[in-house]
């Protein structure tokens, strides 16, 4: 199948959270299974030069956005069997923050949606499935139906819309934005675009996509309920075809303690004790914690927002530190949490460390060096950190919600089975209790701890199973198109990469060509 992913971020080029990890690794897994897979993201000016230097121009477009045309280049390079496209529109994406507030952000991603659709014609690449992700791409299924479906090549495209986090919806002033988008005015109704008097990009994706998915079965269930639906549960229920929940995998090459170049000592499940001890000492040293092998060290790597249970951490941290437990926090986000953790790291110097940064390397060293990993989320669509932590033998302590419930089996002290420590109620007391249970096992039951570490490190976190589930979903939306599920790994992926289909188009439609104005006008 021909599959094009659209998203606002993608590792390793640009990342603020788990969405980037998914967009950087699921397409590779699908390409390895024989599909022609491509990914398109904005070309932010903060994408490092090491990647920019590898990009070449694939096409030029000049989408009509409001009353004027805006020029943009489609840059690309091929890596790991996938064609990675970047929409280079400096007037839109030359900012450091990839997410901001207000109309600038609304217009930026509305432009991205318009440009992505225009680029298909310019590239001569019409996918069977256009896989949109989160609100930043939510307008695409509606634009496709309203303005592109009758154009040559576009009619056969089917859309999948994946929700990575329903909380962020992209809600904007309809009148303002529609000046640039040109939806029919009579589409501004509650069954289509309207949401409490505004345009809601997430809702638009949920209404107009051919199929909706999210990143774990439990979250798929939760978003259909008033408690977990963030005011969109009714929209989801009204679709009638439900939400498909597919758990994320991780990039097991980048996250591999046996080969990780950023950690103090590499290790595998067979010899983790020595490796993790070295990583722990190095982490304690690096972050200013007392270098003590015996003290349980708990890591937390997260966006510092309500969702992640920081208010529970706020309530329990000092009491837990009093029990001779160390914490290392890495994250950025809301000021109140930054200030709290900053203060805690000063008053509990040697026991609490905090780095306010986005630091991929330190993140790897925390996964490798910490004994336990804390994720007390209020809700969690899937969560990748608990998967990465398990791969590094860092035993998770999680709240039983969404993907955390689907990926961490609670430790059973009678049978020894399980992967981590869990609690159910969103309360500081229950979080404290779960941490103390984990600390007790760490201190007093080394064999049980060994079992937990080995269980986590032995789990299969590759995309193998989930990629097959996405294939089934794509087959469902694309109807009778043939799906290849048994292609040998990597065989066709390399071929697609060497012979990108738009090469021919580039020759016949030279870069820089202008589309006839009439065509653009009709479309918009
Ligand atoms: P979310 O997408 O909600 O932020 P996930 O658990 O799905 O949460 O994914 C978080 C990803 O971002 C993980 O790969 C985690 O290691 C990474 N991450 C989060 N905060 C930071 C940070 N401050 N520095 C480096 N990596 C981070």
Q: Output the CA torsion 499→505→508→514 (10° steps).
A: -150
Helix or strand holding residue 352 (H, E): strand 352-355
**What mean pLDDT do residues 263-273 have?**
97
Ligand 1: which atom is nearest the Cα of residue 357? Answer: 23
Q: How many CB atoms lie within 10 A of CB 464?
A: 14
Mutate to test the pocket of ligand 1, among 302, 337, 380 (most ligand atoms within 8 A of CB): 302
Gap from CA of 407 to ligand 1 centroid (Å): 16
At residue 83, does pLDDT exceed 70? yes
Residue bearing the CA closest to ligand 1, atom 22: 358
Gap from CA of 334 to ligand 1 centroid (Å): 15
Angle (CA) 94-100-102 rounded to 5° is 110
At residue 286, does pLDDT exceed 90? yes
Residue bearing the CA closest to ligand 1, atom 20: 302
Q: How many CB atoms lie within 10 A of CB 190?
A: 12
**Pairing of β 36-42 and β 158-163:** unpaired
From 131-140, 186-195, 304-313, 477-486, the region with the lowest mean pLDDT: 477-486
Which residues have CB under 6 Å of ligand 1? 17-19, 21, 301-303, 330-332, 357-360, 363, 382-385, 388
For residues 60 and 519, the model is more confident at 60
Question: What's the confidence (pLDDT) of residue 313?
Answer: 98
Average pLDDT of every residue of the chain: 91
Residue bearing the CA closest to ligand 1, atom 17: 17
Ligand 1: which atom is nearest the Cα of residue 382? Answer: 7
Q: Report pLDDT digits (tens) over 25-59.
A: 999 999 999 999 999 999 999 999 999 999 999 99
At residue 519, does pLDDT exceed 90? no
Question: What's the confidence (pLDDT) of residue 93?
Answer: 86
Question: What's the confidence (pLDDT) of residue 101?
Answer: 65
Gap from CA of 390 to ligand 1 centroid (Å): 15
Mutate to test the pocket of ligand 1, among 252, 256, 363 (most ligand atoms within 8 A of CB): 363
Q: At 504, is the pLDDT very low, low, confident or very high (cuts 50, 70, 90)?
A: very low
97 exposure class (CB count in 10 Å sphere: 0-12, 13-18, 19+): exposed
At residue 327, does pLDDT exceed 90? yes
**What mean pLDDT do residues 295-319 have?**
97
Gap from CA of 422 to ligand 1 centroid (Å): 20
Mutate to test the pocket of ligand 1, among 16, 18, 250, 354 (most ligand atoms within 8 A of CB): 18
Instruction: Give 228's DSSP letter.
Output: T
Q: Report pLDDT digits (tens) over 381-412.
A: 999 999 999 999 999 999 999 999 999 999 99
Give the integer Cα–Cα distance in Å for 216 and 200: 23
Asked if 26 and 249 touch (Cβ cutoff 8 Å), the reply is yes
Q: Report pLDDT digits (tens) over 440-477.
A: 999 999 999 999 999 999 999 999 999 999 999 999 99
Give the integer Cα–Cα distance in Å for 501 and 505: 8
Gap from CA of 453 to ligand 1 centroid (Å): 21
Give the integer Cα–Cα distance in Å for 496 and 501: 8
Q: Report pLDDT digits (tens) over 143-192.
A: 999 999 999 999 999 999 999 999 999 999 999 899 999 999 999 999 99
Question: What's the confidence (pLDDT) of residue 498?
Answer: 35
Give the integer Cα–Cα distance in Å for 58 and 43: 13
Ligand 1: which atom is nearest the Cα of residue 386? Answer: 6
Asked if 28 and 60 touch (Cβ cutoff 8 Å), the reply is no
Distance of CA 276 to the CA centre of its chain: 27
Mutate to test the pocket of ligand 1, among 255, 384, 387 (most ligand atoms within 8 A of CB): 384
Ligand 1: which atom is nearest the Cα of residue 330? Answer: 23
Helix (H, G, I), strand (E, B) or coil at 32: helix
Question: What's the confidence (pLDDT) of residue 482?
Answer: 44
At residue 24, does pLDDT exceed 90? yes
For the chain, counts of helices (H) and of strands (E): 21, 20
Q: At 80, is the pLDDT very low, low, confident or very high (cuts 50, 70, 90)?
A: very high
Gap from CA of 386 to ligand 1 centroid (Å): 10
From 83-97, 224-238, 430-444, the region with the lowest mean pLDDT: 83-97
Gap from CA of 327 to ligand 1 centroid (Å): 17
Give the integer Cα–Cα distance in Å for 183 and 180: 9
Gap from CA of 328 to ligand 1 centroid (Å): 15
At residue 496, does pLDDT exceed 80? no
Give the rounded percent of residues in the chain with a pLDDT score beyond 90: 86
**What mean pLDDT do residues 302-322 have?**
97
Question: What's the confidence (pLDDT) of residue 207?
Answer: 98
Of 217, 110, 232, the residue nearest 174 (C-alpha): 110
Q: At 233, is the pLDDT very low, low, confident or very high (cuts 50, 70, 90)?
A: very high
**What mean pLDDT do residues 120-125 have?**
98
Gap from CA of 263 to ligand 1 centroid (Å): 18
Gap from CA of 205 to ligand 1 centroid (Å): 24
Partner residues linked to 59 by β-bridges: 74
Gap from CA of 9 to ligand 1 centroid (Å): 13
Any alpha helices (H) in 100-231, and if so which ranges? Answer: 102-123, 140-143, 174-181, 201-208, 217-222
């Amino acid at each position: 199948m021909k599959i094009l992913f659209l998203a606002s971020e993608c590792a390793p080029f640009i990342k603020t959270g788990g969405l980037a990890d998914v967009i950087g690794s699921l397409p590779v897994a699908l390409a390895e299974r024989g599909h022609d897979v491509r990914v398109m993201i904005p070309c932010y000016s903060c994408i490092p030069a090491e990647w920019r230097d590898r990009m070449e121009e694939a096409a030029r477009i000049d989408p009509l956005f409001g009353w004027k045309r805006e020029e943009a280049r489609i840059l690309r390079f091929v890596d790991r069997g996938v064609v990675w496209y970047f929409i280079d529109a400096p007037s839109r994406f030359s900012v450091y923050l990839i997410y901001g507030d207000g109309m600038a952000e609304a217009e930026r991603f509305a432009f991205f949606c318009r440009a992505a659709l225009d680029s298909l014609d310019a590239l001569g690449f019409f996918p069977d499935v256009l896989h949109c992700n989160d609100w930043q791409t939510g307008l695409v299924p509606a634009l496709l139906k309203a303005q592109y479906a009758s154009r040559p090549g576009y009619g056969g495209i089917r859309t999948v819309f994946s929700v990575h986090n329903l909380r962020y919806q992209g809600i904007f002033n309809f009148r303002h934005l529609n000046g640039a988008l040109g939806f029919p005015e009579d589409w501004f109704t509650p069954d289509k675009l309207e949401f409490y008097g505004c345009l809601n990009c997430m809702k638009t994706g949920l209404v107009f996509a051919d199929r909706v998915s999210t990143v774990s079965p439990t979250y798929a269930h939760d978003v259909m309920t008033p408690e977990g639906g963030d005011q969109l549960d009714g929209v989801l229920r009204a679709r009638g075809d439900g939400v498909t929940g597919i758990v994320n995998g991780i990039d097991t090459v980048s996250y591999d303690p046996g080969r990780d170049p950023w950690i103090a000592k590499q290790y595998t499940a067979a010899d983790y004790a020595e490796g993790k001890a070295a990583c722990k000492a190095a982490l304690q040293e690096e972050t200013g914690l007392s270098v003590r092998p015996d003290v349980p060290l708990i890591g937390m790597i997260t966006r510092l927002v309500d969702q992640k249970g920081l208010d529970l951490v706020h309530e329990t941290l000092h009491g837990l530190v009093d029990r001779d437990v160390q914490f290392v926090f890495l994250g950025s986000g809301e000021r109140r949490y930054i200030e709290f953790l900053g203060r805690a790291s000063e008053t509990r110097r040697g026991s609490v460390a905090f780095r306010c940064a986005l630091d991929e390397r330190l993140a790897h060293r925390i996964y490798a060096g910490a004994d336990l990993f804390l994720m007390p989320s209020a809700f969690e669509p899937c969560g990748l950190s608990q998967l990465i932590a398990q791969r590094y033998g860092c035993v998770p302590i999680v709240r039983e919600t969404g993907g955390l419930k689907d990926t961490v089996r609670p430790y059973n002290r009678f049978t020894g089975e399980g992967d981590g420590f869990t609690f159910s109620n969103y309360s500081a007391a229950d979080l404290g209790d779960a941490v103390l249970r984990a600390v007790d096992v760490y201190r007093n039951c080394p064999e049980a701890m060994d079992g937990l570490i080995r269980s986590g490190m032995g789990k299969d976190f590759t995309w193998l199973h989930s990629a097959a589930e996405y294939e089934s979903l794509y087959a469902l939306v694309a109807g009778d198109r043939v799906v290849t599920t048994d292609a040998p790994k990597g065989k066709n992926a390399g071929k697609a990469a060497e012979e990108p289909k738009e090469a021919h188009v580039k020759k016949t439609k030279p870069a820089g060509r202008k589309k006839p104005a009439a065509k653009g006008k009709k479309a918009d």
